[in-house]
Amino acid sequence: MTTQEQFEILKIINSDRITIDEFRLLLSTEVDNELLKKMASRSMELTRKRFGRAISLYIPLYYDNRCTNGCIYCGFNAKNNISRKKLSIAEITAEAQFIRSKGFKTILLVAGEHPESSNPDLLIPVIRKMHEIGFTCVSIEIAPLGEEEYRALVRDSHLDGLYIYQETYNREIYDKVHASGRKKDYDWRLMTAERGSRAGISKIGIGFLLGLNDFREDAAALAEHLNSLMKNNWKSEYSISFPRIRNAAGVNDSFRTVTDREFVQLACALRLLFPETGMSLSTREHPDFRDTVIPLAFTNISAGSSTAPGGYCNTGNDLQQFEVEDSRTPEQMTQVLKKIGFDPVWKDWQ
C-alpha cells in the first residue's frame, strides 16, 4: 500500500460519517495491522460515545426444531436425521421461567421454519405468556410472515422485536445453499424486515451468516439493505449481527473460513459506517475471543444459550441447531463484563 493510500484510509477512519464506497475500502485486504489498530480505536470511541458502557444481555428460547427447509449449513435441515421436538405451551413456560430466574428480561423465541411453529394462533398466547412471566422485550426469529400476520402479533400480543437474517446476499450462492423449502425464495425473505416495520414492530435485527460467501460482498450488501430500511422504514430501530457458521449435524467443512482478524475488521468497519446501530454478538464465538471483541463495537450479547428445544430444563444436545462455543453461565458473563469495565443490562427500556 502506498503512502497516499494509507493517508486516504486514515482520513476515512477519522471522518464523522463515511460512505459505503469508503466502507468497502476499510474492508480491503490492503488494511495492515497498524491501520486495523486505528480502526479498532475509532470503533471503540464511537461505541462508547453512543452507547456508553452498557451491554444488553439476551437469550434465545428454542421451542421447535422441526423444519421444512434443506439449508445445507444448518443442523435443523429437514434431511438431517436428528431428534425433532416441538415444545408444548407448558414446556415453553417452564423454559421461560428458568431463563427469567437467571435475571434475563429480554428473550428471543426461535424455531425451525415449520408452518406450525410460525402460526400466529400459537405465537400470540406464547408471547403474552412471556410478558406475564416478566420479560419486557420479546422478539422472534422464525419463518418469515406476511405483514398482516406481523400486525396481529404486535396488536394482540405486543411483539417487540423481529430478527431475520438473509444468510447471504449473493443470489447464486443463496439458491445453492438453500436446496429446498420455502426459504429458497430470496425476495420473500429479503422483504421481511420491511413488512415487519410496516406492521409496527419496534425493533428489527438483520444480518448474514459468515462463511457462505465472501464476507466483503455480503457486508456491502447488508450496508445497502440497512441504509434503505433506515431511510424508508424509519419508525423501527435496527440492529445487525454477523455470526459465523459452527459445527452442526450434517454440516461439513467446505464453507469459507472467516478469520478472527477479518471478523474484527468487519465489526470495526460496520461501526464506523453505522455509529448509532446496535450490534449483537452470539455464543457462536469462543469465550476468549468474545471477551476481546466486546469492547470494539458490540452492544448486545447472548449468554448461557442453548440451541435445543427444552435445552434449559432437561433436553440433551441431540436436538440442537449448532454447537455453542461459549457455554459460560449468565452469572459468569456478568462477572466478565464487570471485569472489563462494562455494565450488564438485563432490562430493555419500556
Count of domains for the chain: 1
Q: pLDDT tens, 70-97?
A: 998 888 888 888 888 999 999 999 999 9
Instruction: Establish if 18 belongs to a structural domain.
Output: no
Would you state the pLDDT for residue 6? 81
Q: pTM for the whole thing?
A: 0.93
pLDDT of residue 199: 98
Confidence (pLDDT) at 326: 87
Domain extent, residue 276, equals: 50-345
Residue 313 lies in a domain: yes
pLDDT range class, residue 176, cuts 50, 70, 90 = very high
**Which pLDDT does position 350 carry in this prediction?**
47
Within a domain: 171? yes
Task: Write down the pLDDT at residue 35.
Answer: 95
* Lowest mean pLDDT, pick from 41-45, 130-134, 184-188, 250-254: 250-254
Res. 54: pLDDT tops 70: yes
Q: Are 302 and 283 in contact (CB under 8 A)?
A: yes
* pLDDT at residue 257 in the model: 79
In a domain, 85, yes or no: yes
C-alpha cell at position 45: 470511541
Look up the CATH number of the domain holding residue 305. Answer: 3.20.20.70
Give me the residues paired with residue 241 across strands. 207, 280
User: pLDDT band at 255, cuts 50/70/90?
Assistant: confident
Name the packing angle between helices 3-13 and 33-51 (round to 10°): 10
Residue 310 belongs to a domain: yes
pLDDT of 30? 86
Report the mean per-residue pLDDT for the chain: 92
Within a domain: residue 200?
yes
Residue 144 lies in a domain: yes
More confident residue, 249 or 14: 14
Mean pLDDT of 199-213: 96
